[in-house]
């Protein structure tokens, strides 16, 4: 084999190694993306116990949000900023994550205080499950 043939073979071999490395990177990236998304989907599917959530809701939330989750609880009428109507399209279009953040940390400039440290993570998930059972997620709102 002459010198030009050897250089061509080396370049071709080098190109193929780079091509294979690029394919491996693409495949690994796709695999990481699929695994990451599937764990996010699985996390969205993990729910609390709505029956236990109802008990927690009645103890901690009912007085402001009401038994129909409409924001007309017995103490809600005395608040300057009315409690959220969890049956409204605005509330029902919020993601589980948004509701979890609000339950945990409260809502700024409202009487809605956070329950982080007062409720366990499981109780928060139970309340969310109860709210979603009573006012299902509606992303098109």
User: Hey, is 54 helix, strand or coil?
Assistant: helix
> Does the predicted TM-score (pTM) go above 0.75?
no
In sequence order, what DSSP letters do the residues of 67-132 get, joined into one string? Answer: TTSSS--TTGGG-SSPPP-TTSHHHHTS-HHHHHHHHHHB-TTSS-B--BTTB-HHHHHHHHHHHH
In whole angstroms, what is the distance from residue 98 CA to residue 51 CA? 22
Total residue length of the chain? 141
99 in Cβ contact with 18 (< 8 Å):
no
Distance from the first to the final alpha carbon of the chain: 71
DSSP type of residue 135: S
User: pLDDT 10s per residue in the chain (141 long)?
Assistant: 666 665 555 556 665 666 666 665 656 666 666 665 554 444 455 589 999 999 999 999 999 999 999 999 999 999 999 999 999 999 999 999 999 999 999 999 999 999 999 999 999 999 999 999 999 998 875
């Amino acid at each position: 084999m002459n010198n030009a043939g050897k250089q061509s073979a080396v370049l071709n071999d080098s190109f193929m190694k780079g091509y294979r490395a690029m394919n491996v990177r693409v495949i690994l990236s796709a695999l990481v993306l699929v695994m990451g998304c599937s764990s996010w989907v699985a996390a969205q599917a993990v729910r609390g116990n709505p029956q236990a959530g109802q008990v927690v809701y009645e103890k901690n939330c009912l007085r402001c949000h009401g038994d129909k989750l409409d924001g007309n609880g017995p103490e809600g009428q005395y608040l300057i900023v009315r409690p959220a109507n969890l049956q409204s399209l605005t509330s029902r279009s919020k993601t589980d994550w948004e509701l979890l953040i609000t339950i945990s940390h409260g809502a700024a400039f409202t009487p809605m205080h956070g329950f982080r440290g007062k409720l366990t993570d499981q109780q928060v998930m139970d309340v969310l499950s109860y709210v979603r059972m009573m006012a299902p997620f509606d992303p098109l709102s």
